[in-house]
Amino acid sequence: MISLRFDNNKKGKKKINVKVIATGTVAITLIGIIGISIGKFSGRNPIGPGPILDAVSAVESTFNKGFKFLGDGLGDLINYKKNANKIDKLEKEKNELKLEIAELNKKLDEVESLESLKKSLNFIDEKYEAKSVAASVVSKNDGNWYESFVLSAGSADGVKKDSLVVNGNGLVGMVYEVSKNYSKAVSLLDSKSSVSFRLLKDSKFKGVLTQNSTLDNKENYKNKGYLYGYMFDSNYDVIPGDVIVTSGLGLYPEGIPIGEVDKVIDDKNKSMKSVVVKPYADFKNIDDVKIIEPRNIR
């Protein structure tokens, strides 16, 4: 009988050889990958295109994308910081510009107010020697229209009762009460106020404006801020558009603009010619005025 024997030493050697071969294969593969990478970056590719190169390229692409993502993210963070600083700077500059614009508007308002007050002095005849003082409105009556208001000048500034109040548009009203530092005035819209006028086109055509007139529908005119009154003679030739100024009768010097005739109403039964006047002064907006010493007609 033939007996079979296995050589245990040979079997062990076979196992050792497999490990060696596996280790060598991994080493060769790594060396190949390194060689491919070196060849690629040095302009030479000893292996040529193939599966290994594709694998290396894929790995390299993944790393490149990762680094690009990190780079882009870092760049965005840096740009965000820069943009945030720019926004803060622009916001600060915008606020500074707002302050400058507000200051310029204030100066412009002051210049316009000064020019308006200078213009108001042109309404006064040079023969009428009067003292005047500039003042601002510090409070007014309730409602839309300026019927009564308080001015920032009083007896200490030379203001007297019955002083005239004018602005750059024309006659506003008159002072009826004076304290040391303030004075109270009424506009032409107030029932206490009345003024004699004449037509600019003919000084002989005179009349009087008074809010106590018995004119029909006067509430409708009052709601528009209009003045009303009557002519001294119903035969006077007056038509819409005629300019009226102070006549010089009473406390008011002659020639101060008042407004324009808006409507003429003939009352044959009363032999009276009434007029509705649109004033030049804006009785919804009175800020700065000139207070002019009244004439001494006593």
Assess if residue 133 is contained within a domain: no
Joined tokens for residue 268: 């044959």
Domain-embedded: residue 11: no
- The answer to whether residue 220 is domain-embedded is yes
Which of 97-101, 123-127, 143-147, 200-204 is the least confident region?
A: 123-127
- Would strands 148-151 and 132-140 be described as parallel, antiparallel, or unpaired? antiparallel
Residue 175, strand partner residues: 185
**pLDDT of amino acid 277:** 94
CB atoms within 10 A of CB 97: 10
Query: Per the domain annotation, does 111 fall within a domain?
Result: no
Residue 183 forms part of a structural domain: no
**b/e code 159-168 from CB counts within 10 Å (16+ = b):** bbeebbbbbb
Runs of H (alpha helix) within 42-161: 51-121
What percent of the chain clears pLDDT 70, i.e. is strictly above it?
A: 60
Q: Which domain holds residue 212?
A: 194-279
Q: Which of 98-102, 148-152, 232-236 has the highest mean pLDDT?
A: 148-152
C-alpha to C-alpha distance for 88 and 242, rounded to whole angstroms: 60
Q: What is the mean pLDDT of residues 50-64?
A: 52
Residue 94 lies in a domain: no
In a domain, 208, yes or no: yes
* Residue 244, domain CATH: 2.40.10.350
> Above 60 in pLDDT, residue 287?
yes
Residue 45 lies in a domain: no
Q: Which is more confident, 275 or 222?
A: 275
Per the structure, the count of domains in the chain is 1
| Average pLDDT taken over every residue of the chain | 75
For residue range 122-152, what is the model confidence (pLDDT) as tens digits?
666 555 556 788 999 999 998 889 999 999 9
**DSSP H or E run through 36:** helix 8-41
Query: How far apart are the two ends of the chain, measured CA to CA in Å?
Result: 171
Rg from Cα positions in the chain: 49
Which are the contacts of 84, defined by CB distance < 8 A and separation ≥ 6? Answer: none
Residue 183: CB atoms within 10 Å: 26
> In Å, what is the CA distance from 159 to each residue of 31, 37, 132, 294?
109, 101, 8, 9
Count other C-beta atoms under 10 Å from residue 272's C-beta. 17
| pLDDT-based confidence at residue 33 (cuts at 50, 70, 90) | low
User: CA-based angle 281:282:286, to the nearest 5?
Assistant: 95
Rounded-to-5 percentages of helix, strand, coil across the chain: 40, 25, 35
